Every structure is written in structure tokens, then in C-alpha cells.
Amino acid sequence: MKYLYVFLLASIISCNNPSNLKPNQLRIGTFKTFIKDGNYESLATRNDSIQIETFDKKKDTFYIKWKSNFEYILLKKNPKNDLDKKEFIVKITGVKQNSYTFTAYFKGSNYKQKGKAIKIN
């Protein structure tokens, strides 16, 4: 039981939330996403279990599985190759006003992307 309290405390501390935007408000809405190490931006609309994302004028639909208020997994609804079949794990690292920062990676990969998502609706 003591370990559960330590885990919960670490989870609360690890996700910085000094704003009015609450973690459960990240589960629904429209978000503009920017990747830190590139010139990539996408637009995603999500409800609690589905995300429709437009990137480079192409739309994809993903299933969302929320592990916690600060971590979720995206899985492409209609994968076209082996990479599309892998889980894409997103860890929210901070919440500020109408945005959040994140680190994301494909399951089993050491490559990580960092970025920011702004809630626009």
C-alpha cells in the first residue's frame, strides 16, 4: 500500500499543472500539435477513445487507450504497414494554460519525439 502512495505522489509531481486546464480536459477537443525537432505540425480532434488527425493533408484515425491522465496510447485504426501496427505512446510532461508538452515514441523504440499541443477547441 505504501508503494501505491509513492506512485500516486510521483504521478502528481511529474505532471506540472499550474493552469486552469485540467488533465481530464485533455481527453476531448481539438489540438494543434508541434514536434520540437522538426517542422511538423498536425491537427487532431479527439474524444475519449478516438482521435482523428490531419498531417500533411492526410487524415488518420487512431484508437486511444488512456493509461492515466498523463499517458495515453494511440493505435492506428487502419494500419498500412508494420510501423502503423505499433502502439504510439504519449506521455504528457507538463500542462500550462491551454497547452501541454509531451514525449512520444513507438513501443519498443528508443527514438523519442518531444512536442507541444495547444487546445484550440
- Domain ranges across the chain: 2-119
Alpha carbon distance 89, 67 (integer Å): 10
For residue 14, the model assigns a pLDDT of 46
Q: Which residue has the higher pLDDT, 20 or 53?
A: 53
Task: State pTM to two decimals.
Answer: 0.79
Where residue 25 falls (left for φ over 0; alpha for ψ -120 to 50; beta otherwise) is alpha
Q: Which fold has domain 2-119?
A: Lipocalin (2.40.128)
Strands 41-46 and 29-35: antiparallel
pLDDT tens digits, one per residue of 79-108: 999 999 999 999 999 998 889 999 999 999
